[in-house]
Copies of this chain bind each other. A is one copy, B any other.
Amino acid sequence: MKLLKIVVILFLSVVYTSNAQKINVADYGIEPGKDVTLEVNQLIESLKGKKDVTLFFPKGQYEFYPENAIEMYRAVTNHDNSLKRLAIPIFNFENFTLDGNGSTFMFHGKICPITVKGSTNTVLKNFTIDWEHSFVNEMKVIENNVEENSFVAEINSGKFDFRVENNQILFQHYDWEDVIGQNIAFDPKTKAPIWQTRNYALNGKGKAKVVKLDNVKAKFTNITKVTPPVGTVFATYGPSPGGNRFAQAIHLDQSKDNFIENVTVFAAGGMGVIAERCENITLNKFIVTSRSDRNFATRADATHFLGCKGLIKVENCLLEHMMDDGINVHGAYIKVEKYLGEKTFLCEISHKQQWGLVFAEPGDKIMLTSRETVLPIYETTVTKAKILNEKRVLITVSDVPAKMPTGPLSFENITWNPDLIMRNNTIRDNRARAALITTKGNVLIENNFFSSQMHGILIEGDNKAWYESGGVRDITIINNTFDNIGYGSGEHYPLFAAPLFLPNQHIGAEKYHHNITFSNNKIKSYNGLLVHAFNVIGLKVEGNEVELSTKYPTGSKLPTVSLDYCENVSIQKNEFRNFSWPLKVEKSENSTSIVVKKNKGLSKK
Contact = CB atoms under 8 A, between A and B. Distances in A.
A52 interface: no
A176 interface: no
B390 A68 contact: no
B69 A388 contact: yes
Contacts of A304: none
> Size range of the interface on A?
10 to 19
A564 to B, nearest CB: 38
B73 A389 contact: no
A346 B390 CA distance: 33
A188 B390 CA distance: 43
Interface string A58-73: 0000000001111101
Interface in A349-404: 388-392
A316 interface: no
A468 B121 CA distance: 48
B83 A388 contact: no
Interface in A294-346: 346
Given A73-B73, A73-B83, A83-B73, A68 B388 contact: yes
Contact of A388 (B38, B81, B390, B391): B38
Contacts of A389: 68-71, 85
A67 B392 CA distance: 8
A71 B70 CA distance: 21
A167 to B, nearest CB: 14
A41 interface: yes
Nearest to A73: B73
A85 B71 CA distance: 20
A46 B41 CA distance: 37
A392 B73 contact: no
Contacts of A70: 388-389
A389 B41 CA distance: 12
Contacts of A69: 388-389
A179 B463 CA distance: 35
A71 B81 CA distance: 14
A111 to B, nearest CB: 10
A388 B111 CA distance: 13
A71 B38 CA distance: 30
Nearest to A389: B71
Interface string A210-251: 000000000000000000000000000000000000000000
A393 to B, nearest CB: 10
Contacts of A83: 73, 81, 390
Interface string A16-39: 000000000000000000000010
Contact of A392 (B68, B388, B391): B68
Contacts of A71: 388-390
Contacts of A390: 71, 83
Nearest to A86: B389
A71 to B, nearest CB: 3
A280 to B, nearest CB: 30
Contacts of A68: 346, 388-389, 392
Q: Tell me which of A388, A391, A392 has the highest count of chain B C-beta atoms within 10 A of its own C-beta.
A: A388
A319 B281 CA distance: 59
Contacts of A85: 389
Contacts of A41: 388
Q: Tell me which of A68, A81, A85 has the highest count of chain B C-beta atoms within 10 A of its own C-beta.
A: A68
A90 to B, nearest CB: 18
Interface in A60-101: 67-71, 73, 81, 83, 85
A135 B129 CA distance: 45
Contacts of A73: 73, 83
A121 to B, nearest CB: 28
A209 to B, nearest CB: 18
Contacts of A388: 38, 41, 68-71
A444 to B, nearest CB: 40
A70 B392 CA distance: 9
A112 to B, nearest CB: 12
Interface string A445-457: 0000000000000
A69 B346 CA distance: 12
Interface in A427-464: none
A391 B388 CA distance: 28
Q: Tell me which of A71, A81, A389, A391 has the highest count of chain B C-beta atoms within 10 A of its own C-beta.
A: A389
A38 B393 CA distance: 11
A476 B70 CA distance: 44
Contacts of A392: 67-68
A71 B393 CA distance: 11
Contacts of A391: 67
Nearest to A338: B68
A419 B41 CA distance: 39
Contacts of A67: 391-392
A357 to B, nearest CB: 14
A309 to B, nearest CB: 27
Given A68-B389, A70-B388, 10 more contacts: A38-B346, A38-B388, A41-B388, A67-B392, A68-B346, A68-B388, A69-B388, A71-B389, A73-B73, A83-B390
In the A-B complex, the 9 residue pairs with the closest CB atoms: A71-B389, A73-B73, A68-B388, A70-B388, A68-B392, A71-B390, A85-B389, A70-B389, A69-B389
15 contacts: A38-B346, A41-B388, A67-B391, A67-B392, A68-B388, A68-B392, A69-B388, A69-B389, A70-B388, A70-B389, A71-B389, A71-B390, A73-B73, A81-B83, A85-B389
